[in-house]
Chain A
Amino acid sequence: MAQLDNIIHQPVRLQIMSSLVSLDKNEQVNFTYLRKLLKLTDGNLGAHLAKLEEAGYVKIEKAFVARKPCTFINVTGKGRDAFEGHIVALKDIIHSGKG
């Protein structure tokens, strides 16, 4: 049976991972866009991304776009697997009648 992931289960991090896994494997999303999409502050998003990066679930890269510094984030393979496992675990809880 799949296990819930303590890191991903936090509501904000769950939203971040949900957004990131929506991208294709070769795509990265802009930090500012992610912040607006999830309605978070810079600090809040930054802190949760740091936690996810520490776990190896996301990769953060800084680049220049039109001469402006931008931060891009993408989910790693490990993160994608962890998210899918977490979703399966949630579905198992719903269907098994636990809780």
Chain B
Amino acid sequence: MNVSKEDARISLSAAQSVMDQTHKAISSAYANPLLILWGILWITAFTATHFYVHYAYYIFMTMAVVGGLSTTVIIRVFRSKAPVKEKSSPKFGRRVTALWIFLCIYIIIWLFLFAPFTGLQCNALICTAVMFAYIVMGLWFNNRFMIVLGLAVTAGTLVGFYLLRNYYCLWMALVGGGALFGTGLYIRLRWR
């Protein structure tokens, strides 16, 4: 079979394009609805906390419960529509779930270890710990977006904590919630 240099280049380019497209689309199957959900929750919770700071604990507890239940529903719904399934038992999903459970436990441990702390410190700790989990999942899934998102929101959290204390919540609604929502929307629109 004789193939010209140009035809070989075109074939190689086409192959690489499909590989990239497949990898992105599959790795984002769950990502975009969950990012959009948590983006909306962060925007709502942080904005509400800015105006009703005395109710911060109840606002964020509600966010956590609503977010946790919604995440479970979304994963169940999308599992049946997932384009990829594992031939072996779905151990990876259980590992991701275990990651989040252990993260919650460790956050509680850290809060006990570092008490007493301000509400601002507590919130910044939780936000950065959650972003650490995003980075870990980005490394697991070989998903650069998750890693960059985790690093960007961590940086935004530190900027808000050290430089914008009086407007921390509004800043986090914009930077944290906005980044999550925007990334989810971008993935949904561009990686279909």
CB atoms of A93 and B8 under 8 A apart: yes
The answer, among A9, A65, A91, A94, for a CB contact under 8 Å with B85, is A65
**Interface magnitude class on chain A:** 20 to 34
A29 at the binding interface (Cβ < 8 Å): yes
The answer, among B15, B21, B88, for a CB contact under 8 Å with A26, is B88
The answer, among B11, B26, B80, B86, for a CB contact under 8 Å with A14, is B11
Tally of contact residues, B, Cβ under 8 A:
29
The answer, among B2, B9, B14, B87, for a CB contact under 8 Å with A27, is B87
A contact set with B: CB distance below 8 Å: 4, 6, 9, 11, 14-15, 17-19, 21-23, 26-30, 32-34, 37-38, 65-66, 72, 74, 87, 90-91, 93-94, 97-99
7 A–B pairs (Cβ distance < 8 Å), ordered by A = A19-B19, A23-B26, A27-B84, A28-B84, A30-B83, A37-B21, A99-B2
Q: Distance (Å) between the CB of B127 and the closest chain A CB?
A: 31
